[in-house]
Each structure stands twice: as C-alpha cells, then as structure tokens.
Amino acid sequence: MTQETLSFEQAFERLEQILEKMNNGKISLEESLKLFEEAEKLIRSCNNRLVTSEQKIEMLVKQRSELVMDASQRPKTTPFASV
C-alpha cells in the first residue's frame, strides 16, 4: 500500500512502528534515514487529513448555526472544498 491509500489509522500505526524501530537503537544509520523519510511523508499525510477534517467540522458547525433552507424547505448543502 502506498501512503496515499493508507487510512489515517493505518498511517498512524505505521508511524508508531517506525518510532519503535528507531528508538530501539539497533538499526543502521542508512535504515534510520530511510525510516525518517518515510515518517516525514506519513506525518504530512496525517496532518493534511486532520486539517481537512477540521475544516469540514468547522463548516458543519457554522452551517448548523446559520441554517439556510432551499426552495423545498430542506437544509441547503454546500460541497466541501478539497485542500
């Protein structure tokens, strides 16, 4: 699986595995560097997902307090903008 196809939970679990390997001190410098680079990518991916989720929640809360109805008296919806 690539980092883009991992769920947030899978990416976070992989980060924990990397941290455990790096903390045990029994890997080479080259392996440490490789794991560090992988961790950086995973951190960026997780952060982007968290930011997107936060934005969606903020929009939902805002819409709840500013409920706008459409012509059929149903709540008007707005698609989420991707980050």
Number of domains in the chain: 1
| pLDDT tens, position by position, 11-68 | 999 999 999 999 998 999 999 999 999 999 999 999 999 999 999 888 887 777 666 7
Which CATH number characterizes residue 21's domain? 1.10.287
| Domain membership of residue 55 as a residue range | 1-83
* Whether residue 69 has pLDDT greater than 90: no
Geometric angle at alpha carbon 51, from 49 and 52, rounded to 5°: 65
Q: What pTM value is reported for the model?
A: 0.68
Residue 27 near residue 62, CB atoms below 8 Å: no
